[in-house]
Chains A and B, each alone.
Chain A
Amino acid sequence: MGLKIIKKILSGNQAISIGAYKGNARFASGYPGTPSSEILEHFKNYPNVIAQWAPNEKAGLEAALGASIAGVRSFATMKHVGLNVAADPLMTASYTGVNAGFVVVSADDPGMHSSQNEQDNRRYAKFAKVPLIEPSDPYEAMAFMQYAFVVSEKFDTPVILRSTTRISHSLGVVQFDPRTLDNEKELSLAKDFKKYVMIPANAIERHRVVIDRLAKLKEFSNQTPINKLEKGKTDFGIVTSSMAYNYVKELIPDANIFKVGFSYPMPGDKIREFAKDLNRVIVVEELEPFMEEELKIAGIEVEGKKYFPENGEFNLDIVEEGLKKAGVIRERATTVYFDGFELPKRPPALCPGCPHRPIFDILHSRKDVFITGDIGCYTLGCLPPLSAMHTTVCMGASISMGVGASKVQKEDKVVAIIGDSTFFHTGIQPLIDARINGANLTVIILDNRITAMTGGQPDPGSGFTLKGEEVNPIRIYELAKAIGIERVFEIDQYDYKATKELINREIDTDALSVIIPTRPCVLAPKRIKDRPLVVIPDKCVGCKRCLRIACPAIDFKNNKAIIDEFLCTGCEVCKNVCPVEGAIVHKEEK
């Protein structure tokens, strides 16, 4: 039988999942987060693999570590900020090392396309003293992911594979042999007290192992083929990695390039050798001066961030500008032929029919509340005209910040607003905090029973798993009751009037209360569309009250509201807020 080579256009995330499978990974866990979510969604389709969503990244990383110690190659996926949540096990997994190969995939988001910060997670590799591998395109994403398992076992260490939005969500042509690697040796569950039980006596020993391992990894970084010289004709050299490599290659095709694929520890000797015959060496890297600092520490004379920004996502124009500033290209080839126009921005908005909308409309009408928000679609409730959120920091912070804010001042009533998936992620302990420390707080848990923002992944309240298996869901109502909170209410928020009464009553009650609006997401797991509404033009007084709910289906023309019946899902929020009886009605059924 001949060797079958597959040629496909793949996203970086698809490619990572293929690389994992080819690398013989058979267990994966993680928490959805843009731009990492699709990795597990693809991986779950392979035969004989266990793939599951954890309630948060810490649980996901720990589950994968447990699988590794039990003898199965495993990995965990998360977005960059997710690794903050999972940093605790990562730091000590570095000490325990692995049994079967174990990889942590961190998908960073330079430019903050869908994130609250743009931290550079390469720093975590140095912090945890573990190797860091950075692909620059989908082909490398596949190949490097497979390779990461080999490195992990060879050096008995977790490996961080770092992608970015532009790698995870870019597509490229990938050719591959679909066969999987065999494990080098048969592995079984490891019971090794000194290695896996990190009491001080053992951890003191293991820290020495980690330091020795790092020295070996440094050697390896100088040998691995994924750190490579691409000989060019220029008298200067460029050290680059990840997406930045592509911009450099396109802008200066004949440059001397040192392409770094294994970026922690850095291949100091190899780059010193590279720099020897060059006039100067410039480091081109997105976000932090990570490689630049490492090379300077190694005593290699390089330049970098004095020409390139430390914030934002790179692109061809930014890199070209930096190279020009550095004096290695004379002129920018770019010409702008058409000046940009002054245009209205088009921010994202809650979907037509989104069950979060009535909640924010109700909260907007209260001027005496301080609203601590959280991370999810509902963060859009901060934007005008809904404008009903005063803080958003990180997953789960709404309730805990609400605890603090409600304790120190009485003028404003405090409302914490959080989604179901975020609540399961890191909202439960803050709710315990609120209960045990007696916070006077109204907690609204928007229970649409899905992780909506990242594309509709199931959470513990959904009733099904990543693989689509049915499971008995966890009810937030029962959880809140079990914590010992007396005032817990479920409500159908499409009953606008009752919801408004309940929210107002609880805000005005001096006690901890939990309100759980229960309408499901309109997009997932299935699209919901009821009979659309229409505006009766003769009855519309043009007051624009319905525009204040920020529904994409409602427009305003010739002093009248109009509803786009293709977009309208028939949720009736506009009908409920309209001051004129009968101005908004359901379209007659044909």
Chain B
Amino acid sequence: MNIVSVLFVGVGGDGIITASNIVAQACMLAGYDVKKSEIHGMSQRGGSVSASVRFGDKVYSPTDKLGSVKYMLATEKIEMLRWVRYLNRGSVVVVNDRIVPIIGQTIDEDRIDNMVEQVQTKTLVKRKFLVDSEKLGNPRLSNTIMLGVLSNFLEIDEKYFHDAIDLILPEKLRTINQSAFSYGKNLIYDNTSGE
């Protein structure tokens, strides 16, 4: 099979590394070869961060080619827009409908939303996942809910995601993240925006 890419983008501290580790683990459990790339260091201090998970029969490069990313999970809208050159018409994008302020910049959210609308991919799920997260009783579940949404499109059996969550997350966070994942998985059926 051809290599499939899942690109995670966001802001340092957003949990990009953990979310991408869960997907990479699920891919391996599903029997694929997988490579993942991430950048630590300076970017952790609130800068733009990205991580890429690529899976298939045999994967060499851990990073993507322009226009080749099939799936994107963006924890923030500006960061989603920063990486659009990697997307194509067939891409599936799940983006958290939020903006993280940038020091020294005044951001016009309408202008950003307008740009997001210009990104006409096959599927684009833009939603305030923080609201969902708070509904589940913890403001830090947005990424796992988004993973649940994304899992509907990925050719990876759901059970591998659940196993991956158990393997990657510390014990006290497992149950709540399993529920958050299932919540996201079911969410897509009443949110088909962009399809």
Instruction: Assess whether A385 is in contact with B104, with CB atoms less than 8 Å apart.
Output: yes
Bound Cα distance from A38 to B28, whole angstroms? 23
Within 8 A of A (CB), among B63-102: 63-68, 78-79, 81-82, 84-85, 87-89, 100-102
A315 CB-CB contact with B under 8 Å: yes
Q: How far is the CB of B76 from chain A (nearest CB, A)?
A: 9
Q: How far is the CB of A50 from chain B (nearest CB, A)?
A: 26
A246 CB-CB contact with B under 8 Å: yes
Instruction: Assess whether A137 is in contact with B35, with CB atoms less than 8 Å apart.
Output: yes
Instruction: Assess whether B41 is in contact with A34, with CB atoms less than 8 Å apart.
Output: yes
Q: How far is the CB of A550 from chain B (nearest CB, A)?
A: 5
When distances are taken between beta carbons in the complex, the residues of chain B under 8 Å from A337 are: 67, 87-89
The segment from A17-25, A64-72, A339-347, A422-430 that touches chain B is A339-347
In-complex Cβ contact of A344 among B63, B87, B102, B118 (8 A): B102
Bound Cα distance from A343 to B111, whole angstroms? 11
When distances are taken between beta carbons in the complex, the residues of chain B under 8 Å from A247 are: 60-61
The segment from A94-102, A170-178, A459-467, A503-511 that touches chain B is A170-178
A400 CB-CB contact with B under 8 Å: no
B15 CB-CB contact with A under 8 Å: no
In-complex Cβ contact of B61 among A7, A250, A343, A547 (8 A): A250
Bound Cα distance from A531 to B156, whole angstroms? 44
Within 8 A of B (CB), among A329-345: 333-341, 343-345
With contacts A173-B33, A348-B12 known, is A249 near B60, CB below 8 A?
Answer: yes
Instruction: Assess whether A343 is in contact with B78, with CB atoms less than 8 Å apart.
Output: yes
Within 8 A of A (CB), among B48-72: 48, 59-68
When distances are taken between beta carbons in the complex, the residues of chain B under 8 Å from A340 are: 82, 84-85
Instruction: Assess whether B35 is in contact with A171, with CB atoms less than 8 Å apart.
Output: yes
Instruction: Assess whether B61 is in contact with A552, with CB atoms less than 8 Å apart.
Output: no
Instruction: Assess whether B85 is in contact with A170, with CB atoms less than 8 Å apart.
Output: no
Return the CB mask of A477-499 against B: 1 if under 8 Å, else 0: 00000000000000000000000
Instruction: Assess whether B81 is in contact with A343, with CB atoms less than 8 Å apart.
Output: yes
B1 CB-CB contact with A under 8 Å: no
Q: How far is the CB of A241 from chain B (nearest CB, A)?
A: 14
Within 8 A of A (CB), among B17-59: 21, 24-25, 28, 33-48, 59
A374 CB-CB contact with B under 8 Å: no
With contacts A9-B28, A317-B66, A349-B46 known, is A169 near B84, CB below 8 A?
Answer: no
B107 CB-CB contact with A under 8 Å: yes
Q: How far is the CB of A217 from chain B (nearest CB, A)?
A: 29
Q: How far is the CB of B188 from chain A (nearest CB, A)?
A: 23
Instruction: Assess whether A552 is in contact with B107, with CB atoms less than 8 Å apart.
Output: no
Binding site secondary structure of chain A: loop
Bound Cα distance from A479 to B85, whole angstroms? 53
When distances are taken between beta carbons in the complex, the residues of chain A under 8 Å from B79 are: 346
Bound Cα distance from A384 to B101, whole angstroms? 16
Bound Cα distance from A9 to B38, whole angstroms? 14
Instruction: Assess whether A316 is in contact with B39, with CB atoms less than 8 Å apart.
Output: no
Instruction: Assess whether B64 is in contact with A9, with CB atoms less than 8 Å apart.
Output: no
Within 8 A of B (CB), among A373-390: 377, 380, 384-385
Report the count of interface residues on B (CB-CB < 8 A). Answer: 54
With contacts A341-B84, A347-B47 known, is A171 near B102, CB below 8 A?
Answer: no
B193 CB-CB contact with A under 8 Å: no
When distances are taken between beta carbons in the complex, the residues of chain A under 8 Å from B25 are: 9
When distances are taken between beta carbons in the complex, the residues of chain B under 8 Å from A338 are: 84-85, 87, 118-119
A166 CB-CB contact with B under 8 Å: yes
When distances are taken between beta carbons in the complex, the residues of chain A under 8 Å from B66 are: 317, 334-336
Instruction: Assess whether B103 is in contact with A552, with CB atoms less than 8 Å apart.
Output: yes
Instruction: Assess whether B65 is in contact with A317, with CB atoms less than 8 Å apart.
Output: yes
Bound Cα distance from A556 to B106, whole angstroms? 7
Within 8 A of B (CB), among A126-176: 137, 165-166, 169-173
Instruction: Assess whether A172 is in contact with B35, with CB atoms less than 8 Å apart.
Output: yes
Instruction: Assess whether B84 is in contact with A350, with CB atoms less than 8 Å apart.
Output: no
When distances are taken between beta carbons in the complex, the residues of chain A under 8 Å from B115 are: 341
Bound Cα distance from A544 to B153, whole angstroms? 45
When distances are taken between beta carbons in the complex, the residues of chain B under 8 Å from A347 are: 47, 103
In-complex Cβ contact of B139 among A34, A249, A566 (8 A): A566
With contacts A113-B41, A173-B28, A317-B65 known, is A555 near B82, CB below 8 A?
Answer: no
Who on chain A is nearest to B168 by CB? A9
A91 CB-CB contact with B under 8 Å: no
In-complex Cβ contact of B40 among A34, A246, A315 (8 A): A34
Bound Cα distance from A334 to B65, whole angstroms? 7
B6 CB-CB contact with A under 8 Å: no
Who on chain B is nearest to A354 by CB? B45
A320 CB-CB contact with B under 8 Å: yes
Q: How far is the CB of B65 from chain A (nearest CB, A)?
A: 4
Q: How far is the CB of B77 from chain A (nearest CB, A)?
A: 10
Instruction: Assess whether A9 is in contact with B34, with CB atoms less than 8 Å apart.
Output: yes
Who on chain B is nearest to A349 by CB? B46
In-complex Cβ contact of B60 among A34, A171, A250 (8 A): A250
Most chain B CB within 10 A, of A250, A350, A385, A454, is at A250
Instruction: Assess whether B44 is in contact with A348, with CB atoms less than 8 Å apart.
Output: yes
Bound Cα distance from A251 to B150, whole angstroms? 28
Bound Cα distance from A337 to B68, whole angstroms? 10
Within 8 A of B (CB), among A438-465: 453-455
When distances are taken between beta carbons in the complex, the residues of chain A under 8 Å from B21 are: 9, 171
Instruction: Assess whether A172 is in contact with B62, with CB atoms less than 8 Å apart.
Output: yes
A35 CB-CB contact with B under 8 Å: yes
In-complex Cβ contact of A113 among B42, B61, B84, B103 (8 A): B42
Q: How far is the CB of A170 from chain B (nearest CB, A)?
A: 4
Who on chain A is nearest to B104 by CB? A385
With contacts A169-B37, A340-B84, A343-B78 known, is A316 near B48, CB below 8 A?
Answer: no
When distances are taken between beta carbons in the complex, the residues of chain B under 8 Å from A166 are: 37, 62-63
Instruction: Assess whether A346 is in contact with B48, with CB atoms less than 8 Å apart.
Output: yes
When distances are taken between beta carbons in the complex, the residues of chain B under 8 Å from A564 are: 101
Who on chain B is nearest to A347 by CB? B47
B interface list, Cβ under 8 A from A: 3, 11-12, 21, 24-25, 28, 33-48, 59-68, 78-79, 81-82, 84-85, 87-89, 100-107, 115, 118-119, 139
Shortest Cβ-Cβ A-B pairs, 3 listed: A114-B41, A34-B41, A348-B47
28 contacts between A and B (CB under 8 A): A7-B28, A9-B21, A113-B43, A137-B35, A166-B37, A169-B40, A170-B35, A170-B36, A170-B37, A170-B38, A171-B24, A247-B61, A316-B64, A320-B65, A338-B119, A340-B82, A341-B84, A341-B115, A343-B82, A346-B11, A347-B103, A348-B45, A350-B45, A351-B46, A380-B45, A550-B104, A551-B103, A566-B139
Additional A-B contacts beyond A9-B36, A346-B46 (16; CB < 8 A): A169-B37, A169-B38, A171-B36, A247-B61, A250-B60, A316-B61, A316-B65, A341-B81, A346-B47, A348-B46, A348-B47, A349-B46, A349-B103, A377-B45, A380-B45, A385-B103
